Amino acid sequence: MSIKPPVVWCVGGSDSSAHAGLQADLRTGQDLNCHVQTIITCITAQNSKEVRSVEPVSLTMFDEQWQTLLDDVPPNAIKVSLLPSIEIVKACSNWLKLIKIYFPKVQVVFDPVMAASSESGNQLQQTDAGASLLDHILPYVDVITPNLMEFSALTGLSGELAIEDLQAEMTPYFAASESRWLLKGGHCSHLDGSTDWLVDRNSIIGFASERLSVHNTRGTGCTLSTALASFIAHGYDFLDAMTMAKAYITGALKTGVQIGEGAGPLGRPGWPLQIENLPTIVTPNNPTTSISLPFAKMDLDKMGLYPVVDSIAWLELVLKQGVKLAQLRIKDPDDEYLENKIQQAIALGKEYDAQVFINDYWQQAIAFGAYGVHLGQEDLDLADLAQIQAAGMRLGISTHGYYEIARAQSIQPSYIALGHIFPTQTKDMPSQPQGLTRLAHYATLLKGVFPTVAIGGINAERLSAVAQTGVDSVALVTAITKAVEPEAATRSLICLFEMHLNTQRNKGGK
C-alpha cells in the first residue's frame, strides 16, 4: 500500500497558460510528493505574453469548494494566492478563521499576487490591496511572501529601506498579527545576489542565492510559496521548510523551459538534494560568512564508528579497541580537572593515531593543540571560528535539519553531524527526531562535499539501517557505555559498520 501523501490546499486563480497559478501549484505539489487540492478564485485568460482577462468565480461557488473539501479531509497546509474581489477576500478570511479554530496546527502561506511575473507586468489583483488583504487575511496566516513591489503596495513602505529600518517600520503589522514576512528580493535589479529576508518582530534572517541570468521565470512566486507549504505539510520545521523552498526554487529556475513567445515556466527539479542550490544563511550585520577557506580535512579512512564519551577512561577504552574517531564531551564547564582531561584526550589521540575531537571547549583545544573541536549551533555565534581555523584544527558542526545544514556548509567545516536520528537517552532535544528518510536525504545532499556523521539514539540494532543511508560515520554513546561488555561491544560495532561500508563501496563500484 502506498503511503498517503500530505494534503495541501491551494487557493488561487486558474492560469490558462499553465505557467503559474493553480496549474503551477499542482505541478509543484506533485513534484514534492504532496496531494494538492484546489479552491479556484478566478478564471484567467493568459499566455506567456499577457494576462488578457480575469473573471472571479461566484461567491457561492467559492464557499462551496471550501465546504466540500472540508467535509472530506482537512489539509496539512494551505497556500493562498490570487483573491480577485473584496467579497472573495472576506469569504477567504472567514474560512481561514474557521481553519485556525478547528485545526490550529494547520499553517497558512499567503502569496499576495498582484501582478504576473512576466515582462508585461499585467495587473491581476482587483482589490484595494492594502485595506482588504492585510485587514482580512493577515490575522490568519503564518507567513506572507510578497516581493518588494507587492510589499510596497500592501504597506506603503519603501522596499529600498535597509532591512533593519524596515523591521522597525513594520511594528504595527507585527502588533496586529504573529505572521512572519518573507520579503523576496528577486526583483531588486540593483543587487548582485538575490536575498529573501524572513522578518518578524524578533529576528531577521536572510536566505541568499546567486542571481541567475535566466529567461524562463514565470510562476516563481507561485512555486516558492507552494514549495514552502508542501515542505511544511511534510512536517518540516518552518526554517527547514524555508531553506528547502529556497533550494527548490533555485533548481526550478535552472531548469525552466521555453514555452510560448514570452517568459516560459519554471522547471520542476524534484526533491532538493543538490548542495549548490542551498541558500547561504545571512544576517544584516553579517551579509557573508567570515570563513573564506575550508577547515582542515578529515582522514576519511579513519572515519567509521564515532564514540562520544564523557571521561578519559571511556576514551582510552574505545581507542584500545581500534576506534580511530572519537569525541570527549565533558558536560560540566566547572570541572576542576577540565584542562587536564583535555590534555589527556589529546595525548591519547596521538598515542593511538586517532582523530579525537573536543566538544565545546575550543579555547582549551587551541591552547593544547587538539586535533579538532566539535561545536553545536548555539556555539557558532560565540566561538572565534577564524582563530580555530588559524590553529589548523578540524571543525565538526552539529545540525538538526536543512536550515542548520545550510548555515554549517557556508562555514566549510571538516564534517557535518546530522541528528538526532532517533529519540535519545543522553539529553533533551529541542528538535524532532530526523528519522532514516531525512537522514538519507541529508547524506545525498552532502555526499562528496562534506563528510557526514549520524548521531542520536543509534544502537547496535539500528546501526545497519543508519549505515545504509550513505553516511560516512555513526556516532554512538550509550550503545557502548551501557553495554554489558563495552570492549566486545565496541569491536563488534566497528566490524558491523565496516562491513556495511564495504558493501556500499562495492555497490558504488559496480
Which residues line the annotated binding site? 327-331, 359-360, 379, 398, 424-427, 457, 477-478
- Burial code of 403-424, b = ≥16 C-beta within 10 A, e = fewer? bbbbbbbbbbbbbbbbbbbbeb
Q: Order of strands, edge to edge, in the sheet holding 107-110?
A: 51-56, 35-46, 7-15, 77-80, 107-110, 143-144, 180-183, 193-199, 204-210, 280-282
Residue 327 in contact with residue 349, Cβ under 8 Å? no
- Dihedral (Cα; 27, 32, 37, 41), 10-degree rounding: -50
**Which helix (H) or strand (E) segment is 198 a member of?**
strand 193-199
d(Cα 311, Cα 345) in Å, to the nearest integer?
Answer: 9
Q: Identify whether the C-beta of residue 217 lies closer than 8 Å to the C-beta of residue 249.
A: no
SS (H, E, C) 65-106: HHHHHHCCCCCCEEEECCCCCHHHHHHHHHHHHHHHHHCCCC
Please give the Cα distance from 9 to 154 (Å, whole number). Answer: 24
**Beta strand 204-210 with 180-183: parallel, antiparallel or unpaired?**
unpaired
301 DSSP 8-state letter: G
Q: Which residues are annotated as a binding site for Mg(2+)?
A: 360, 379
Q: Cell 522596499 identifies what position?
A: 159
Evaluate the omega torsion of the peptide bond into residue 420 and state whether it is cis, within 30 degrees of 0.
yes
User: What 3-state class would DSSP assign to 10?
Assistant: strand
Written as nine digits, the cell of 322 is 581500534
Q: How many CA atoms within 13 Å lie on the side-chain side of 232? A: 23
